[in-house]
Structures are given as C-alpha cells and as structure tokens.
C-alpha cells in the first residue's frame, strides 16, 4: 500500500503537521493497521483514574541531561546515525520534551524503519501532548508488529480507556495479564475499565486484587485510592475508610483521597474527622470547586451555617470561572 493511499484512507485522520510528517517518513517502509472501531459506551470514564499523560510525565529516569549531552556529542560526529537519533528522541521524551522528541523521531525514521518499541515511544510523546488519537494509531501499529510486548499493550489499554473505548481497553489489559500475570497497573486499570462498563462485581474483584498486590508502605497510592473510591461510590463508606487511609499514608498530598475519606467519615457519622479531611483537600487544591462544595455540605451539616455559605459561594465562583474558560 502506498503512503498516499494510506493517508487518504478513511481510517486515518491526521491531526497535526507533526503527525503527518512522522507518518509520511515512518510508514513509507511498512503498512499501518486500521484502528478498531469505537465500542458502544455505557458511561464516561470515571475521573478517578490517574491520567496516563501524568503517569508518563512521572516516568523519568535519572541522568538524562548527561545522556542527552553524550548523544548530541556523538551525533556531531555521526549526524545521520539512526540508532543515535532514536536514542536521543527517547531521552527527550523522558525529559518531557515531546515536540523535540517527535522532531528527532521524524529525522530518525527517514533513515531507518522504527521498531515496535520505538513506535511505542512515539505514541507516548503524543500522550504527553494529550493527543490520544495519534497515540492509539501508533500503538496499534506497534502491537501489530509485536503482539507480545506487554508494555505496548498496557499503553494501548490506557489510551483506549482515555478515549472511553472500554471494551477494547479491558481486552488489552487481559492480554497484558496473560503475558505478565502480576502486573499491578494492568490489574488496577482493568478494575477501572470494568467499573466504567458497569460491571461492578468484576471491578471490585480486580481493584481488590490490585490493592492486595500493592505495597502499603510504597510510593503508589492509586490502587488504594481507586479501591476506596469504588467502595465509597457504591455506598460502602465504612469499607472505604481503610484503603483511603493507606493512600494518605503513602501520599499525604492526595486531594482525591482526602476528599473521599472525608466524605466516608461523614457518611459514617464521624463529622469531626470528615470536616478535617475536607479542609485538607481544600488547602491542597483551593481552586477545586468540588471540594469547596463538599466542605460546605459538611460544615452545614455540622451546624456551621455561615462558614458553609462561604464555601458554597467559593464553589459557585470557581465553577463559573471554569465555565468561562
């Protein structure tokens, strides 16, 4: 299939000149797979899921500046060495410099066909730019080239979820777990996908499994945030308290954990603790209208009517400001 034929096909809609440039250069050497059609939606993706773009921004290794310096020095002597360009593009992505990384991948793709893993890295640049449609395209191409790479499949599942393609996301996560049976993030995100698809029993099972695999003394609070939030949202606030407390022990600055824990305490008639955690959520994210509203409700129920009115007013102002943006 010619490049022009692929570009004009109904399955491919390019969204940026940068995407087009890389597409022309990289796909000249091979045919792209057609993206699967969107699955019927049951409801919008829950906002509790940790955004994949933020997850990628935290996926940074040490010594990147030194690596970049060394690669640029080597490229000064060998400016058309594809392996060096691909390595530099990866470092630039890890540094969060997505546009520069894509420019470098485009240069490298003129010299050598990218590997599946290099295409995954291209896709993650688009994730950093919040362009999930292009990210999905490149990940589907990478998965066609290497259907057994769990890192490619996990990234594809996260992008499907971000675009509300829950059936496809769940299928991909199951493939990851078949390849890597104790993959914590795949299990956790499988639970969120089941929740989004209204498969509550399966969602709870997966979220509990993920929390059981997670380290309560580690650095990742999200398995506990997601389990606690699921339990609270399903009218089980007493059960929600413990995982949310663990989440806060891991990450004291988690706004969502403080909010959900505060609301769980209020629902179990522990108003002092509830107000305390909602105040903490407000202090951590003072421009979040939802937490001001929830604090207002808690204060009103605690008999602090004047302070509650202030919180409701702040919430309304912030909602109005967000709507105007």
Q: Is the pLDDT of residue 32 over 50?
A: no
Which residue, among 43, 25, 32, has the nearest Cα to 112 in the 3D structure? 25
Q: How confident is the model at residue 40 (pLDDT cuts 50, 70, 90)?
A: very low
Q: Is the pLDDT of residue 27 over 70?
A: no
Residue 233 lies in a domain: yes
Residue 240 lies in a domain: yes
Residue 224 lies in a domain: yes
Report the 10 Å Cβ neighbour count for 39: 17
| Number of domains within the chain | 1
Residue 60 lies in a domain: no
What CATH number corresponds to the domain at position 284? 1.25.40.10
Residue 55 lies in a domain: no
More confident residue, 220 or 9: 220
- The DSSP code sequence of 92-146 is HHHTT-HHHHHHHHHHHHHHSPPPHHHHHHHHHHHHHTT-HHHHHHHHHHHHHH-
Residue 245 lies in a domain: yes
Residue 48 lies in a domain: no
Q: Are 145 and 119 in contact (CB under 8 A)?
A: yes
Residue 228 lies in a domain: yes
pLDDT at 53: 60
pLDDT tens digits along 150-201: 999 999 999 999 999 999 999 999 999 999 999 999 999 999 999 999 999 9
Q: How confident is the model at residue 44 (pLDDT cuts 50, 70, 90)?
A: very low
What are the distances in angstroms from CA 264 to CA 59, 131, 155?
A: 32, 35, 33
pLDDT tens digits along 58-92: 555 679 999 999 999 999 999 999 999 999 999 99
pLDDT at 324: 73
Look up the domain containing 266 and give its range.
214-325
Mean pLDDT computed over every residue of the chain? 87
pTM comes to 0.82
């Amino acid at each position: 299939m010619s490049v022009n034929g692929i570009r004009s096909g109904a399955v491919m809609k390019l969204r940026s000149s940068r995407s087009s440039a890389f597409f022309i250069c990289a796909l000249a050497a091979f045919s792209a797979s057609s993206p699967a059609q969107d699955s019927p939606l049951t409801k919008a993706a829950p906002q509790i899921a940790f955004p994949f773009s933020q997850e990628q921004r935290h996926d940074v290794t040490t010594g990147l500046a030194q690596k970049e310096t060394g690669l640029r020095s080597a490229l000064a002597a060998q400016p058309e060495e594809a392996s060096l360009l691909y390595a530099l593009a990866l470092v630039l992505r890890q540094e969060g410099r997505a546009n520069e990384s894509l420019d470098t991948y485009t240069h490298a793709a003129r010299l050598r066909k990218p590997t599946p893993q290099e295409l995954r890295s291209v896709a993650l640049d688009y994730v950093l730019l919040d362009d999930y449609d292009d990210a999905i395209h490149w990940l589907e191409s990478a998965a066609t080239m290497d259907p057994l790479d769990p890192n490619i499949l996990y990234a594809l599942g996260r992008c499907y979820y971000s675009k509300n393609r829950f059936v496809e996301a769940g299928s991909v996560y199951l493939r990851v777990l078949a390849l890597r049976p104790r993959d914590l993030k795949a299990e956790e995100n499988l639970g969120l996908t089941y929740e989004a698809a209204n498969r509550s029993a399966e969602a709870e099972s997966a979220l509990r499994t993920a929390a059981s695999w997670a380290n309560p003394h580690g650095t990742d609070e999200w398995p506990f945030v997601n389990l606690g939030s699921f339990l609270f949202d399903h009218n089980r606030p007493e059960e929600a308290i413990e995982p949310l407390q663990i989440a806060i022990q891991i990450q004291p600055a988690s706004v969502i954990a403080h909010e959900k824990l505060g609301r769980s305490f209020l629902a179990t008639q522990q108003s002092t603790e509830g107000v305390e955690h909602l105040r903490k959520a407000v202090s951590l994210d003072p421009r979040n209208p939802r937490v001001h509203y929830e604090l207002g409700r808690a204060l009103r129920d605690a008999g602090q009517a004047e302070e509650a009115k202030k919180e409701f007013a702040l919430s309304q102002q912030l909602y109005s400001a967000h709507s105007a943006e």
